[in-house]
Amino acid sequence: MENRILLIDKPAGMTSFGVVARIRRVLSEDPQYAGGKKVKVGHTGTLDPFATGLMILVIGKECKNAAKYSKLDKAYEATIHLGQTSSTADPEGEMTKISDKKPNHQEVKSILDRFVGEISQRPPIYSAIKVDGQRAYSLARKGQVVEIPKRQITIYSLDLINYKYPEIKIRVHVSSGTYIRSLAEDIGKALGVGAYCKQLRRTEISNWRVKDARKLSDFGIDS
């Protein structure tokens, strides 16, 4: 495992930094692996605490290549909840009811099709993006106005798995830098009903698959 990558299936309710810290501790405490030395471990792109799925951890000298992995395309499965918005665009925020309108299946499919291709997207204010040297989520939590410019991202495919109001389940393949929470909000706006991302699972990073990842329990870590 030394100087290589490690695929982890992150559980819900844990930060990406929490995953890294737990794996670092386990490896550093393993006498057969580290010999009592602290092991260097990093991640290659955060997953929100409510989200689950594939993380690529870099270990030892491979940490210097973290940026290479962070720029790879990714695939997700997500559940979008219609009719409400969230201050954080996920289940952990303050909810606001927007509409009782129930879009039909064809309306939903038509709107989803509009988002395929290169589009402009504004990342959520509750994100790790730095604004004036500080994390956007830190400023937002202080009640400060956060202005994050839009960015160009690419949605290679967006497939409807299931729609039963108020939930839309989708599978999406996107470029690096895409926020699925923002995509959920934008879909809600386009439908005129509001929405937030209720569930999110990262299933792929380039050619790596979550089915090949190890769980924290494999390392004796309680999640």
**CB of 168 within 8 A of CB of 79?**
yes
Superfamily of domain 74-205: Pseudouridine synthase (3.30.2350.10)
**CB of 197 within 8 A of CB of 87?**
no
- Please identify which residue in the block is written with the tokens 């879009």: 103
> Taking 60 as the threshold, does the pLDDT of residue 197 lie above it?
yes
**Predicted local confidence at residue 6, as pLDDT:** 96
> Taking 80 as the threshold, does the pLDDT of residue 136 lie above it?
no
**Predicted local confidence at residue 153, as pLDDT:** 97
> Taking 60 as the threshold, does the pLDDT of residue 1 lie above it?
no
Tell which residue, 10, 80, 18, 91, has the closest CA to residue 52: 10
**CB of 123 within 8 A of CB of 131?**
no
**CB of 73 within 8 A of CB of 156?**
yes
Residue 130's pLDDT band (cuts 50, 70, 90):
confident
Cis peptide preceding 49, ω within 30 of 0: no
- Asked if domains 5-71+206-219 and 74-205 share a fold, the reply is yes
Q: How far apart are CA 159 and CA 169, in angstroms?
A: 9
Domain segments of the chain as ranges: 5-71+206-219, 74-205
**Looking at the domain that runs over 5-71+206-219, which CATH code has it been given?**
3.30.2350.10
Q: What angle do CA 34, 39, 44 make, to 5 degrees?
A: 140
| Model confidence pLDDT, tens digit, residues 12-66 | 999 999 999 999 999 988 877 766 678 999 999 889 999 999 999 999 999 999 9
| Model confidence pLDDT, tens digit, residues 98-124 | 999 999 999 999 999 999 999 999 888
Catalytic positions, written as ranges: 48
Within 13 A of 137's CA, how many CA atoms are on the CB side? 10
